Chain A
Amino acid sequence: GENVEQHPSTLSVQEGDSAVIKCTYSDSASNYFPWYKQELGKGPQLIIDIRSNVGEKKDQRIAVTLNKTAKHFSLHITETQPEDSAVYFCAAIGGGGGYQKVTFGTGTKLQVIP
């Protein structure tokens, strides 16, 4: 089955700096890669996603890049703000026939220091 590794497990940045979280996946058939942000006591919230036919996607201060050859994808947050502090999960979903479950990374706790 799919295996997703996520690094780093914790990340502290100064407000205004950039943050980068990296994930690697094992199943070359995976073709959908969402990123979720989870604040304390809340459910995961989708912040951006990318599909395998696209190399990069941007939404305001958030961007995701995908390298299918190397099987890794990254989340980039620019001009970080204290409200960006949360746990971020990457995920991968396979492209095989039938239902393919979401495989989550282990999470990155991001702290933005004012």
Chain B
Amino acid sequence: DTEVTQTPKHLVMGMTNKKSLKCEQHMGHRAMYWYKQKAKKPPELMFVYSYEKLSINESVPSRFSPECPNSSLLNLHLHALQPEDSALYLCASSQDRARISTDTQYFGPGTRLTVL
């Protein structure tokens, strides 16, 4: 089973709202990722968690706050977003054997976020 699940599928929020995106995998993977994808563009890395610790933050604004409660779950908390933050937010996971970054990443279906 190579499934990564994400909820919700779609989210519409105002600029003053607080919301969260959720990601889950049960493959025993120890690395999890958040990506942002704008239309007709490749995914852009936002955050990497390795063994539940934040290992990479690609200079993402603080209005995006990641959280990794355990090895199977990854959240992205959203607050005071801007309309330009509207995008498809993708979660991915990989085995991260001995912290090797060349493990295959498996993506979830994404959350389509619209900020009004």
Tell me if A101 and B110 are in contact (CB < 8 A).
Answer: no
Tell me if B102 and A32 are in contact (CB < 8 A).
Answer: yes
* Residues of the A chain whose Cβ atoms lie less than 8 Å from the Cβ of B90: 43-44
Which stretch of B14-22, B48-56, B69-77, B78-86 is in the interface?
B48-56
Which of chain B's residues has its CB closest to A45's CB?
B107
Q: How many residues of B contact A (CB 8 A)?
A: 26
**A54 → B minimal CB distance (Å):** 13
B108 at the interface (CB under 8 A from A): yes
**A58 → B minimal CB distance (Å):** 17
User: Which chain B residues in 78-116 approach chain A with CB under 8 Å?
Assistant: 88, 90, 92, 99, 101-102, 104-110, 112
**B54 → A minimal CB distance (Å):** 12
**B76 → A minimal CB distance (Å):** 15
Interface of A is mostly: loop
* Residues of the A chain whose Cβ atoms lie less than 8 Å from the Cβ of B41: 106-107
Contact of B56 among A51, A99, A107 (CB under 8 A): A99
0/1 string, B29-59, CB within 8 A of A gives 1:
0000000000011110100101000011010
**B36 → A minimal CB distance (Å):** 12
0/1 string, A41-83, CB within 8 A of B gives 1:
1111110010100000000000000000000000000000000
User: Knowing A42-B110, A104-B42, A105-B42 touch, does A99 contact B99 (C-beta < 8 A)?
Assistant: yes
Tell me if A102 and B56 are in contact (CB < 8 A).
Answer: no
* Residues of the B chain whose Cβ atoms lie less than 8 Å from the Cβ of A34: 104-105
Enumerate 29 A-B pairs (CB-CB under 8 Å) in ascending A order.
A31-B102, A32-B102, A34-B104, A36-B107, A43-B108, A44-B90, A44-B107, A45-B107, A46-B104, A46-B105, A46-B107, A51-B102, A89-B42, A89-B43, A93-B101, A98-B101, A99-B48, A99-B55, A99-B56, A99-B99, A101-B56, A102-B45, A102-B105, A104-B42, A104-B43, A105-B42, A106-B42, A107-B41, A107-B42
